[in-house]
């Protein structure tokens, strides 16, 4: 009798753990509680030293994505409080990529245009100190969702972009199996939950990005790494120090 009761109890708690990811709506902003105040962690990260660059890496050439296509939409969450830290960690709402990655993203946008979709960009280039901040702020059991600052992030190289689809007709984001930066299994690229349409939309995005050399991160359906990321160094350039560019638009 005791054995049966234990098995029922264990099964019950297992079901609770599986169901935990579904407690919040998929579109809600995911939050964590850092162990220390974010400003304190920010000061510490700014004083830290990023990994040393390799001799064979190319000179960075970051491009402001807003200068390339009028169809790119932006919701740079880290410049606002609508992110998992509930704190603005970026000083700018502009998004940058290395030029080859940026040009590839324009081609993705052109291909999606014929299907009635545009790209809504959440994040692109990220200074290394922010990667350090994210790692220090995130509980260890969630570290699979943030990059290890010891090796850096593709975002630090200007070769990763976080994004989703929006409908050209309405201008509204397309529903996906999870919200951006959600640290639950719903964020996995192979998550089988959600609606059939959400999974279809996720696959449309994946295929469009893959055709232009972007690989989807298994833990985050919205994160894509550009194929030539190894060519560029880990950067710690603050947004206010990125040289301004002359805006130019590319036809959709």
Helix (H) or strand (E) holding 44, with range, is helix 38-47
Identify the residue whose tokens are 């309405």.
Answer: 170
Beta bridge partners of 96: 64
| Angstrom distance (rounded) from CA 176 to CA 187 | 9
223 is in an annotated binding site: yes
225 is in an annotated binding site: no
Active site residue 220: yes
Beta bridge partners of 30: none
- Give me 240's structure tokens: 């206010």
| Angstrom distance (rounded) from CA 36 to CA 91 | 21
162 is in an annotated binding site: yes
Which residues make Cβ contacts (< 8 Å) with residue 166, sequence separation at least 6? 73, 117, 118, 119, 120, 172, 173, 174
Helix (H) or strand (E) holding 8, with range, is helix 2-19
Q: Which of 24, 40, 220, 240 is catalytic?
A: 220
Beta bridge partners of 63: 97
Annotated binding site: 155, 162, 223
Residues acting as catalytic residues = 220
Annotated binding site for Zn(2+): 155, 162, 223
């Amino acid at each position: 009798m005791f054995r049966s009761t234990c098995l029922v109890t264990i099964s019950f708690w297992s079901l609770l753990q599986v169901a935990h990811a579904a407690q919040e709506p998929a579109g809600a902003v995911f939050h964590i509680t850092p162990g220390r105040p974010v400003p304190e962690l920010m000061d510490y990260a700014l004083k830290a030293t990023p990994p040393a660059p390799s001799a064979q890496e190319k000179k960075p050439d970051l491009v402001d994505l807003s200068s390339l296509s009028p169809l790119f939409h932006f919701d740079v969450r880290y410049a606002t409080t609508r992110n998992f830290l509930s704190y603005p960690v970026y000083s700018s709402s502009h998004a940058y990529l290395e030029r080859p990655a940026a040009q590839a993203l324009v081609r993705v946008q052109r291909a999606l245009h014929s299907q009635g979709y545009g790209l809504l960009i959440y994040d692109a280039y990220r200074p290394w100190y922010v990667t350090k901040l994210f790692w220090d702020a995130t509980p260890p059991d969630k570290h699979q969702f943030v990059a290890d600052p010891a090796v850096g992030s593709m975002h630090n190289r200007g070769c990763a972009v976080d994004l989703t689809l929006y409908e050209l007709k309405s201008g509204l984001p397309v529903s996906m199996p999870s919200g951006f930066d959600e640290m639950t299994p719903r964020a996995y690229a192979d998550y089988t939950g959600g609606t059939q349409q959400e999974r279809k939309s996720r696959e449309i995005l994946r295929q469009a990005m893959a055709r232009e050399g972007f690989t989807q991160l298994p833990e985050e359906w919205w994160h894509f790494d550009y194929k030539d990321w190894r060519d560029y160094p880990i950067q710690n350039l603050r947004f206010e120090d990125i040289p301004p560019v002359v805006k130019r638009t590319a036809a959709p």
